[in-house]
Structures are given as C-alpha cells and as structure tokens.
Amino acid sequence: MDKMGTYSYPQVTTLSILGFVIYAWEFRRAFSALRT
C-alpha cells in the first residue's frame, strides 16, 4: 500500500525475494532427496 516505504527500503524487497527463492530451492532439493 505504502509506495514511499517500498522505495525507501529497496534492499528489504530484494532480500525477501532472494530469501523466498533460496527457500523454494532448498524445499525442492529436500523433496527431491526425499523421493529417491
């Protein structure tokens, strides 16, 4: 909602996206290992 906050903290958005990607990658890797 608050666009000013988004532009004030661009690193937070990048960090959250990066964290989500890493989380998804780790989850997929663990699921892959679990299936074998």
- Write out the DSSP string of 11-25: HHHHHHHHHHHHHHH
Q: What is the pLDDT of residue 3?
A: 65
14: confidence class by pLDDT, cuts 50, 70, 90? confident
Task: Please give the Cα distance from 36 to 29 (Å, whole number).
Answer: 11
Average pLDDT of span 5-33: 85
Amino acid 11 reads Q
Domains contained in the chain, number: 1
Question: By residue range, what is the domain housing residue 25?
Answer: 3-35
Which of the two residues, 3 and 15, has the higher pLDDT score? 15
Q: What is the pLDDT of residue 35?
A: 85
Q: What is the pLDDT of residue 5?
A: 58
Task: Please give the Cα distance from 15 to 34 (Å, whole number).
Answer: 28
* pLDDT tens profile 24-35: 999 999 999 988
Neighbours of 36 (CB within 10 A): 4
